[in-house]
C-alpha cells in the first residue's frame, strides 16, 4: 500500500549490520572466555582484539545509523525511538568488550569446580541476544512476532538472574580467599550484565512497537 524510501531502506540495512557486529562481539567473547578457562591466556588475548574490532565496527554502524536518520530517514518521533534502541543494543557490545577486557587483563582465578558454571552462565547470558536480534528484525518486517521474541528475552534473562544468584552464593560459600571471591563476583556481574542490557533493549523495542499501534 505504501512504498519505502531509499534512506529508510538504507537504515534498515545498517540496522541489520549493526546487530550482526554485536553478535560477532558476543561470539568473540565466548571464544575468549573458553580459551581463558582452558588456560590458553595468550590465545585468549589475541582473540580479544577481534572483540574490540567488532565493537568498534558496531559503534561506527551506530553512528552511521544516527547520521542517516538525521539526514531525513523516518519521521522525527520514530527517529528518536530507533536511535534509542540502537544505543541500547550497542551497550550489549560495550558490555561484551568490557567483560572480555576484565577477563584478559585482570585474569580472575576461576576455581576448577566453578569453570563449567561460568561457561554456562556466559552462554545463557549471550543467548538472550538471539531472540533480541530476531525481535529487532520484526520492526522492519512484521510487528506481530515481536511479543513472543521479547518474552523469550525476558524468560532467558530471568534464568540468567537465577544462575547468577546461585553461582554468587556458591562462590561465597566456597573455601576460596575473600579477595578471589570478590574478584569472581565481579566477573559474574560482567557476564550477567549482558543479559540485563539485552532485556532493557527488548523492553524498549516493545514500547516502540506499542507506540505505533492503534
Partner 1 sequence: MIWKTLPGLYLGWGLGATHAANVFGPQVASETISYRRAAFLTAIFIFIGALVEGSKCFGTIGSVAAISVALPAAVATLAAALVVHLMLVAGLPVSSSQAIVGALIGVGISQGNHLGANTLVKLSVSWILTPIGAAVVSYLLYRIIGKLWESRVRNVLVFNRAVSVCSIAIGCYAAYSLGANNLANTTGIYVSVGLLSPFLASILGGLSMAAGVATCSKKVMFTVGKRLTSLEPFTAMIAVLAGAITLHLYAQLGVPVSSSQAIVGAVVGIGMVKGVRTVNRRTLVSIIGGWVFTVLGTAVLGYCLGFLIT
On whether the CB atoms of residues 149 and 134 are closer than 8 A, the answer is yes
Instruction: Of 143, 131, 185, 144, give the one whose Cα is nearest residue 23.
Output: 131
Check residue 76 for interaction with partner 1 (CB under 8 A). Answer: yes
On whether the CB atoms of residues 139 and 208 are closer than 8 A, the answer is yes
What is d(CA 109, CA 138) in angstroms, rounded to the nearest whole number?
42
Check residue 70 for interaction with partner 1 (CB under 8 A). Answer: no
On whether the CB atoms of residues 85 and 136 are closer than 8 A, the answer is yes
Q: What residues between 98 and 157 interact with partner 1 by CB under 8 A?
A: 138-144
Check residue 42 for interaction with partner 1 (CB under 8 A). Answer: no
What is d(CA 141, CA 146) in angstroms, rounded to the nearest whole number?
10
Q: Which is nearer to partner 1, 78 or 151 (CB)?
A: 78
Count of residues that interact with partner 1, criterion CB under 8 A: 25
What is d(CA 97, CA 156) in angstroms, rounded to the nearest whole number?
21
Nearest distance in Å: CB 74, partner 1: 5
Nearest distance in Å: CB 119, partner 1: 37
Alpha helices by DSSP H, 71-177: 76-101, 112-127, 129-138, 146-173
Q: What residues between 157 and 186 interact with partner 1 by CB under 8 A?
A: none
Among 41, 49, 67, 77, indicate the residue that binds partner 1 (CB under 8 A).
Answer: 77
Nearest distance in Å: CB 202, partner 1: 16
Among 21, 74, 118, 129, indicate the residue that binds partner 1 (CB under 8 A).
Answer: 74
Nearest distance in Å: CB 11, partner 1: 9
- Reading phi first (left if > 0) and then psi (alpha if -120 to 50, else beta), residue 75 is in beta
Which residues here bind partner 1, judged by CB under 8 A?
1-5, 8-9, 12, 74-78, 82, 138-144, 211-214
Amino acid at each position: 500500500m505504501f512504498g519505502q524510501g531509499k534512506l529508510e531502506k538504507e537504515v534498515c540495512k545498517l540496522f541489520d549490520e549493526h546487530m550482526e557486529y554485536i553478535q560477532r562481539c558476543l561470539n568473540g567473547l565466548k571464544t575468549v572466555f573458553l580459551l581463558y578457562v582452558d588456560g590458553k591466556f595468550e590465545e585468549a588475548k589475541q582473540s580479544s582484539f577481534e572483540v574490540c574490532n567488532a565493537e568498534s565496527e558496531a559503534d561506527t554502524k551506530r553512528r552511521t545509523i544516527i547520521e542517516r536518520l538525521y539526514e531525513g530517514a523516518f519521521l522525527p518521533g520514530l527517529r528518536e525511538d530507533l536511535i534509542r534502541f540502537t544505543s541500547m543494543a550497542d551497550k550489549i557490545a560495550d558490555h561484551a568488550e568490557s567483560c572480555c577486557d576484565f577477563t584478559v587483563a585482570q585474569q580472575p582465578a576461576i576455581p576448577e569446580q566453578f569453570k563449567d558454571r561460568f561457561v554456562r552462565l556466559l552462554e545463557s547470558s549471550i543467548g538472550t541476544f538471539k531472540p533480541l536480534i530476531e525481535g529487532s528484525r520484526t520492526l522492519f518486517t512484521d510487528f506481530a512476532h515481536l511479543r513472543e521474541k521479547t518474552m523469550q528475552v525476558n524468560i532467558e534473562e530471568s534464568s540468567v538472574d537465577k544462575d547468577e544468584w546461585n553461582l554468587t552464593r556458591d562462590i561465597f560459600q566456597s573455601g576460596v580467599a575473600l579477595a578471589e571471591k570478590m574478584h569472581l563476583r565481579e566477573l559474574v556481574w560482567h557476564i550477567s550484565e549482558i543479559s540485563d542490557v539485552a532485556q532493557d533493549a527488548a523492553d524498549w523495542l516493545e514500547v516502540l512497537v506499542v507506540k505505533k499501534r492503534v
